[in-house]
Chain A
Amino acid sequence: MDPEIFEMENADIAWCPGCGDFLILKALKQALADLELGPEKLVLVSGIGQAGKLPHYLKSNVFNGLHGRSLSPATGIKASNPDMVVIDVSGDGCMYGEGGNHFMHTIRRNPDITNIVLNNMVYGLTKGQASPTSQIDFKTPFQVDGVFEEPFNPLAVAITLGASFVARTFAGDIPHMVEVLKKAIEHKGYSLVDIFQPCVTFNKVNTFTWFKENTYLMDDTHNPYLKIEALKRALEGNDGEGKFPLGIFYIKKGHPTFEENLSVYKKDKTPLFRRKVDKNKLKNLIDSKRGL
């Protein structure tokens, strides 16, 4: 499949020139094309923010909802029609800040959706405030003395909570992004792909160069099926020590998905919108209230 198929001819893209988001958009189109997943099969769900606009720039079904809430509709969509491929695209503020509670509980629920977080360590759309992943000492118009809160570690949290697929990649490396995204989308169950994304306008610290210098690709010695190993890797790069690893950190196999656990789909995979009300059953239910 040609990635052109996802082209939105008249889209008025609101991203700044040079933003990492363009590269992520390109990689996502490539990954979907490689997997032969056409626009009709796809639902892109997002929240609010620069990252959250991505679904408007990729031809597909779109649910662009509220700030921080994207995982909830994504779960509802997948649970109502498991035939659809559901991909959630959000920013770090949207997902880990406003949406923190949903992030945590969606992992526990394990719906078969792919959660892509464009992590630029800053709030783009609202003009440069700190995000939960902003690094210590990062100065912003709100954090005038610099950030002093511990940065949120999405990968470590996801692994600890038993997410079934956890990965990180970098907007500056398209082939790597495509590879990781494909594996994540193919994975059955919740998958988190955190993507380091330089914001050229509001984050003058974590630039393309900074990410290149402060990350490294994990090699074959990393076994993604071992939780403790995955957790150790996820902790690397924190506290300003060492570099941030890129690649697939953790895969949990055979973990039943949310949809698989729902009794409606145990015998019959029909999406909910095609199911009718059985009036005879309803009459029986009413009659059961007649007593003994």
Chain B
Amino acid sequence: MSMIKLEEDVSLVLCGEAGQGIQSVENIMVQALKMGGYHVFSTKEYMSRVRGGQNSTQIRASSKRVKAYRDRIDILVALSKGAIPHLEKRITENTLILGDEEVLQDLEEKYYNLLKAPFISKAKKLGGLIFSNVIAAGALSCIMGVDKEIFDELITLLFASKGEKILENDLKAGVEGYDIGKKILDSGRISIKIEKNPATGKEILINGTQAVGLGCISGGCKFISAYPMTPSSPLQVFMADNASEFEMVFEQAEDEIAALNMALGASYAGARAMTATSGSGFALMQEGVGLAGMIETPVVIYIAQRPGPAVGLPTRTAQEDLNLALYSGPGEFPRIIFAPGNFKDALELSHKSFNLAEKYQIPVFILSDQYMADIYYNLPSLDIEKLEVEDYIFETDTDYKRYLFTPDGISPRGIPGYGQGLVCVDSDEHDEEGHITEDLNLRTRMVDKRLKKMDKIRKEAVPGEFFSTSNSSAYTTLIMGWGSTYWPLKEALLEMDNDNLALLHLKQLYPLSSQAGELIKKAKKSVMFENNAQGQMAQLIQKETDLKIDHKVLKYNGMPFSVEEILAVLETLEEE
């Protein structure tokens, strides 16, 4: 039973059953902490069920920017009996566990740092278990030094729509929470010192899904057809929510097959179009990816990955569908695959996806995952000033040919109803006018024409982000990752502060920028971190550059890499 002193960076974890409102606590807490002058980060892990099970949310609050998942738990709010066994591996003697008598009763004080806090019993008195989340949020906000007025304002904002009675009770729950918080502070068991910075209060607070969504809107998306599937559904919700304001059509298709085909029809008619799905759903779309390739019609495909095969672990995270995206669709044709690692990239790469899809008349993929889709953090803003929608649609004349042979393989793209010409696209092999052909010479020329586009696409490939604490290229070990591993890797590297280490975070996975090969060649040792079992990106690098990655660190249990896990790997690498 030691006194816990927390400075600069606090990791709070709330854990309870589905239906207990852990999600609402996350919503309240991230806002409250940000408004209260801290940098915040949150990530959730949850089970694929509507009631019961164990779900948890990690919230980090700090005087510095924090954007990555850590194993460390400083304060654990246990709202269910299952919470402690569920998080067993992450609990240490430095974890202060708060919970009701009944939740903590079977735990031995010599192993655990326990402090009773009557979240559930007070909630019951207020009229139901559901209030336990607001009470917990209140207690934590109080401990963290968030002004009560800010807290009340938030509660009002979040619950006003639910009716006066409910709001009134939630405000009361807040009072109870702050009461409990004060008692915890008075107990002398914990002290927290984090410098506040009022500027964070004015920053934006978004999640990875919203960052992608904002990029899609800025990229001129006008049509989205999709079929619900976790973890892509939040993006579908975001686009549906904003459809009216931004003059977009959102349609829930009858299945993924229809979703992509509908988007291709929309795109053929000139609307910038996209679809969103996850692994199993994307498996159904592959036929349509081939169609996009053959009819050279732009489309953006957002894949929020989760573990497979088949339906896998519906609510967990993975990076397992790179190969699926890379090889999807029959035949051979060009494509681009992006994997944003932070919110700025998510905005800009999603935006760029639409321009490149139009420019090259190809499918462009945005690979995200559950972890990336659901994390929140604050940032000063997102700059959309330079994000321009580039127009690649031509007004046709009477002798327009949709698939005109050109030196770079890109034919001017007309759309029906704009100009004098007729626009014919065909899934069968076709001639320059878009009419079906079985002329085998023409066939070869058409394949060449389509693949020719890759030359330009390759030259234009977005380089990865190179980072080393010394800012120099005098490194011996090159750490690599792609997509959502960005912040955990970067935070670990910053903490190592070792000039032998450098990080290459890949943003465009395919085709790969020539930079990757150059940086790998310079390293004595290359290490790839991926959330899959086979090192799909490492394999792709080898295929694209002929360079073998020395060391693969693979995690595929459905959870993201934590900073600590990465640190442990980096330390053993050093010793080797």
**B198 CB within 8 Å of chain A:** no
CA distance A283 to B204 in the complex (A): 12
**Chain A residues near B242 (CB, 8 Å)?**
285
Say whether B422 contacts A76, CB under 8 Å: no
**A17 CB within 8 Å of chain B:** no
Using an 8 Å CB-CB cutoff, how does the interface string of A250-292 with B read, 1 for contact, 0 for none?
Answer: 0000000000001110001001110111110111011101111
**B154 CB within 8 Å of chain A:** yes
Say whether B425 contacts A72, CB under 8 Å: no
**Chain B residues near A45 (CB, 8 Å)?**
265
Given A69-B261, A286-B381, A292-B157, decide whether A61 and B424 contact each other with a Cβ distance below 8 A.
yes
**Chain A residues near B101 (CB, 8 Å)?**
none
**Chain A residues near B416 (CB, 8 Å)?**
40, 43, 61, 77, 81, 84
Query: Of the 9-residue stretches A27-35, A52-60, A156-164, A240-248, which lies at the interface with chain B?
Result: A52-60
**A147 CB within 8 Å of chain B:** no
**A83 CB within 8 Å of chain B:** yes
**Chain B residues near A40 (CB, 8 Å)?**
416-417, 420, 422
- B21-38 residues with Cβ-Cβ distance < 8 A to A are 31, 34-35
Interface residues on A, range: 35 or more
**Chain A residues near B258 (CB, 8 Å)?**
69, 72, 101-102, 105
**Chain A residues near B243 (CB, 8 Å)?**
263-264
Say whether A76 contacts B31, CB under 8 Å: no
CA distance A283 to B219 in the complex (A): 14
Please tell me which one of the listed residues B202, B248, B287, B435 contacts residue A56 in the complex, with CB atoms under 8 A apart.
B435
**B195 CB within 8 Å of chain A:** no
Say whether A80 contacts B265, CB under 8 Å: yes
Interface residues on B, range: 35 or more
> In angstroms, how far is the closest chain A Cβ from the Cβ of B238?
10
Using an 8 Å CB-CB cutoff, how does the interface string of B246-265 with A read, 1 for contact, 0 for none?
Answer: 11110101110111011111
Say whether B291 contacts A60, CB under 8 Å: no
- A63-92 residues with Cβ-Cβ distance < 8 A to B are 63-66, 69, 72-77, 79-81, 83-84
**A39 CB within 8 Å of chain B:** yes
Please tell me which one of the listed residues A39, A109, A268, A272 contacts residue B422 in the complex, with CB atoms under 8 A apart.
A39
**B205 CB within 8 Å of chain A:** yes
Given A73-B265, A76-B266, A287-B204, decide whether A81 and B424 contact each other with a Cβ distance below 8 A.
no
Say whether B247 contacts A286, CB under 8 Å: no
> In angstroms, how far is the closest chain B Cβ from the Cβ of A228?
27
**A48 CB within 8 Å of chain B:** yes
**Chain B residues near A235 (CB, 8 Å)?**
none
Q: Which of B245, B249, B287, B288 has the most CB of A within 10 A?
A: B249
> In angstroms, how far is the closest chain B Cβ from the Cβ of A78?
8
CA distance A292 to B242 in the complex (A): 20
**A62 CB within 8 Å of chain B:** yes
**Chain B residues near A289 (CB, 8 Å)?**
204-206, 210
Say whether B435 contacts A263, CB under 8 Å: no
**Chain B residues near A286 (CB, 8 Å)?**
204, 214, 381-382, 384
- B498-524 residues with Cβ-Cβ distance < 8 A to A are none
Say whether B417 contacts A291, CB under 8 Å: no
Closest to B156 in A: A292
**B334 CB within 8 Å of chain A:** no
Closest to A74 in B: B265
Say whether B436 contacts A56, CB under 8 Å: yes
**Chain B residues near A279 (CB, 8 Å)?**
218, 384
CA distance A41 to B203 in the complex (A): 50
**Chain B residues near A262 (CB, 8 Å)?**
249
Closest to B421 in A: A40
CA distance A89 to B218 in the complex (A): 36
Say whether B248 contacts A75, CB under 8 Å: no
Using an 8 Å CB-CB cutoff, how does the interface string of B223-250 with A read, 1 for contact, 0 for none?
Answer: 1010000000000000000111111110
Say whether A79 contacts B249, CB under 8 Å: yes
> In angstroms, how far is the closest chain B Cβ from the Cβ of A39?
6
Closest to A284 in B: B245
CA distance A263 to B384 in the complex (A): 26
**Chain A residues near B420 (CB, 8 Å)?**
40
Using an 8 Å CB-CB cutoff, how does the interface string of B131-145 with A read, 1 for contact, 0 for none?
Answer: 000000000000000
**Chain A residues near B434 (CB, 8 Å)?**
62
CA distance A79 to B266 in the complex (A): 7
**B220 CB within 8 Å of chain A:** yes
**Chain A residues near B268 (CB, 8 Å)?**
63, 73, 76-77
**Chain A residues near B13 (CB, 8 Å)?**
none
> In angstroms, how far is the closest chain B Cβ from the Cβ of A262?
5
Please tell me which one of the listed residues A43, A48, A55, A80 contacts residue B271 in the complex, with CB atoms under 8 A apart.
A80
Which residues in A have some Cβ–Cβ distance to B below 8 Å? 11, 14, 39-41, 43, 45, 48, 53, 55-56, 59-66, 69, 72-77, 79-81, 83-84, 101-102, 104-105, 109, 262-264, 268, 271-273, 275-279, 281-283, 285-287, 289-292
Given contacts A105-B254, A275-B247, A289-B204, 7 further A-B contacts (CB under 8 A): A55-B424, A65-B295, A69-B261, A77-B416, A105-B253, A271-B271, A292-B31
